[in-house]
Chain A
Amino acid sequence: MAMTLTLIFTLGDELYGLEIDAVQEIIENPIVHYVPLATGVVEGAINFHGQILAAIDLPALLGFAGEQRDHRRVVLTADFKSLALSVNGIQRIVELDLSALEPSPASAQQKAVRGVAQLDGTEVNLLDKAGVISQLENLHIQ
């Protein structure tokens, strides 16, 4: 059984997972610089080692209720579109079997879930990066 290191975090009251390979870094309390013209889920810009990345409010993008956010941010690797995501809470890193994902329920279509894995009897939604990007693309941020 192939196990994959996976970062577990919460969006609303659901558990989400993201393969560690897709995570560049988890940064503590970065300064989010205000970007005029950008609104809503694009919170601003982060100076990430000299790169200027968009700070994205992931719970708001995917329509989760709840105000509270983790003080840390998840920076995605640059091989994809690099983004600094905020989530409701970062929990831990676990080993998950991602070889046999269950399909996500139809209701999760807008929630960027690419499949559901099991962790100690609880369901973990695997975050679909491409889904996040395409939702951002479709969003008129201006």
Chain B
Amino acid sequence: MDMSQYRELFFSETREHINNLNKLVVTLEQEPGHRETIDALFREAHSIKGMAATMGFDHTARLAHRLEDMLDGFRSSGEVPSAIFDYLLAGIDLLDGLLDDLQENRSERSINDFLSTQPQNTSSTVAVAPEDGLSDALPATAEAGEPDAATGTVETSADKSAESPVRDTPVEETDIFQVLIDLDEGTPASAARGLLILRELAHSGELITSQPDVKGLRKGEPCQRLQAWLRTSLTKEHIGEALRKISGVANVRFIDDRRNRERSSSDEAGRTIRVRTDLLDHFVNLTGELITHRYMLHSATSKRDWNELTQALTDTGRLIDDLRHHVLQSRLMPLENITGRLPRIVRDLSRKADKKVTLRLIGADVGIDRVVLEEITDPLVHLVRNAVDHGIEKEGVVTVTARRERDLVLIEVADDGRGMDPEQLRLKALERGLLTTLQAESLSDHDALMLVCQPGFSTAEEVTETSGRGVGMDVVKAAVVNLGGTLTITAAPNQGTSFQMRLPLSIAIVKLLLVSCAGHHIAIPITRVQRILDLPSEEIQGLAGKRVFRLGEEMVGICSLNEALGLPEVPAGETTWIVLTEIQGRHIGLQVDRYLGHREAFVKKMGFPLDLLTGLSGATVEGDGRVVLVVDPQSLLDNRQPFTND
């Protein structure tokens, strides 16, 4: 089967699981031995193992298997040694790294170092070493984690895992079966037969547990029916054949274990998204209403009743809006998917920097489009790192807030630390030659703060491990802008810093501003537009060979969209239409011939080689079939209006 189409889904699902693992480990560390948390951890590791094995990602599957085994051990022992947390977290990080490798089409990194390190005090369920005697092997597996088990300490069983042939075989797909073995009625010495059967099973794979168990059988418990759970890579037929050879065995049956079903259902989940049933019901209702309205439209048309037609059209429009709203709703995922990893990050960072940082998460249940969510993950993590690293000095609170603001989602990362000083930023920009003295003086505080998003502009006096690597603020800003969002910064000295990302809920349907340039309709995403101005043409002045106009305190440069698009100039009449936008933190007035209105539209990617044109981000089709191009002012003007000297 061609698995490539499931790759992306595998990655997003697995990242979700890793996310949960991290969160759960941090929770467990605060409350060791919490049963449900251990169970949840086990399930996460189990899902990753199953999915990775299905995809054929050997190392990932093996590592997840190891984690699963370890967690299963805690499940049976009910205890988690404190030394294990760093080991678990290291394993989770390694999983994350493996995913990076796979996602970038590298071969998976080695996991042998991790697998060969044994954390201290680990009580883990491990495979049986079949060459060992029955008395050694069975209790260790069947009752793993119980130090008082009949023979051998848990440590020895963990050591054996290194040599066990089952573990050393890389990525064998194993299944868990429940085996039911009936003995002939009146079989003499049934307990001895039972022990023999268990021994046979231990040779075929990993005997998880049995009923009756070894202890009971040793005591001579009669055994008419034996129930055993086996993890094995062998087929049922193979095992059944071996068992039936044992005298006294009347019947052997296999029952697939629930855990196998769990795995296949999580594969299924890789191809689907979770939709609430009430949402589905709503779709059904809406569809019904739409059908009714189709008949109303038909009837109004045949009667040529314009009033009725208009009414039916209006209603249909409302229904379609409603439908669209709910369809988009079904694509939303809670922000929780990324904020879930923040506790771990903050824990690690504050430990390293020896700071005491409290993380507060507000509104993690706010839904956001899957695509937007993926794109915003790294920027959000970076902002939180920044807050811990630069914002907080010794002790403080980092607050991540999410909430809906009409069509947008606001995600704010705020700290109560040292803040930023706009004046200092102005001086720094002057020093670096990013601004002239005149520009620096006219720069508003808001714009001065935005200077930190300039490539190469850093306010950190010293480069720490966290700030010196990974994405910088310029990358954060670019990611937000690419999604059609905006980034704003508020800060004052010693009053904390707040970064606000405003992001579209969905990126498929965009509000577009329609303008006319030399007779062509051109669209600009409304998220790129700050204002539309109709200026009396005499308000436009010349300054150093450029055309500018006054906007409050600021002189804003004008750029002709016709010219930028290579279209002929059309002389403005008494009114000059200006679309106010922001390029690299500066206001720019885009002059257009006429403002036509705005609409919501589905923006499509254009076919090759039109997709190579910089400055055009896609196109949309109007009701009459006309293709309208969507302009991205930033990339269109980037080369023409160099702001920085790079």
Contacts and interface: CB of A to CB of B under 8 A. Distances in A.
A, B assembled together: yes
Interface of A: 31, 33-39, 42, 45-47, 50-54, 81-83, 133, 136-137, 139, 141-142
Nearest to B614: A142
A37 B520 contact: no
Interface in B358-373: none
Nearest to A51: B607
Nearest to B565: A36
Contacts of A52: 604-607, 610, 619, 621, 627
Contacts of B606: 45, 52-54
B619 A38 contact: no
Interface in B316-330: none
A42 B520 contact: no
B565 A137 contact: no
Majority secondary structure, B binding face: loop
Contact of B612 (A46, A50, A141): A141
Contacts of A34: 520
Contacts of B566: 36-37, 39
B496 to A, nearest CB: 44
B616 A37 contact: yes
B306 interface: no
Given A36-B629, A47-B625, A142 B607 contact: no
B626 A83 contact: no
Contacts of B608: 54, 81-83, 133, 136
Interface residues of B, number: 24
Contact of B610 (A35, A39, A133): A35
A82 B604 CA distance: 15
B613 A38 contact: yes
A57 B504 CA distance: 38
Nearest to A45: B627
Nearest to A53: B607
A42 B621 contact: no
A26 B608 CA distance: 19
A87 B520 CA distance: 27
A33 B613 contact: no
B604 A54 contact: no
B91 interface: no
Contacts of B626: 33, 47
B355 to A, nearest CB: 49
Given A35-B616, A37-B616, A54 B567 contact: no
B133 interface: no
Nearest to A41: B609
B625 A42 contact: no
A137 B611 CA distance: 11
A53 B565 CA distance: 20
A37 B565 contact: yes
18 contacts: A37-B566, A37-B613, A37-B616, A38-B610, A42-B609, A45-B606, A46-B627, A47-B621, A47-B626, A51-B607, A52-B606, A52-B619, A53-B606, A81-B608, A83-B608, A133-B608, A137-B609, A139-B609
A63 to B, nearest CB: 18
Contacts of B520: 34, 36
A68 B328 CA distance: 48
Chain B CB within 10 Å, residue with most, of A33, A37, A39, A53: A37
Interface in B492-545: 517, 520, 522
A31 B624 CA distance: 12
B627 A47 contact: yes
B615 interface: yes
B567 A36 contact: yes
Given A35-B610, A52-B619, 15 more contacts: A33-B627, A37-B565, A37-B566, A38-B613, A45-B606, A45-B607, A47-B625, A50-B621, A52-B606, A53-B606, A54-B610, A81-B607, A133-B608, A136-B608, A136-B609
Contacts of B604: 50-52
Top 8 nearest A-B pairs by Cβ distance? A36-B565, A33-B627, A53-B607, A81-B608, A52-B606, A54-B610, A136-B609, A52-B619
Contacts of A45: 606-607, 610, 619, 627, 629
B610 A42 contact: yes
Nearest to B602: A50
Contact of A141 (B567, B609, B621, B629): B609
B613 A35 contact: yes
A83 B607 CA distance: 7
A31 B626 CA distance: 9
B607 A82 contact: yes
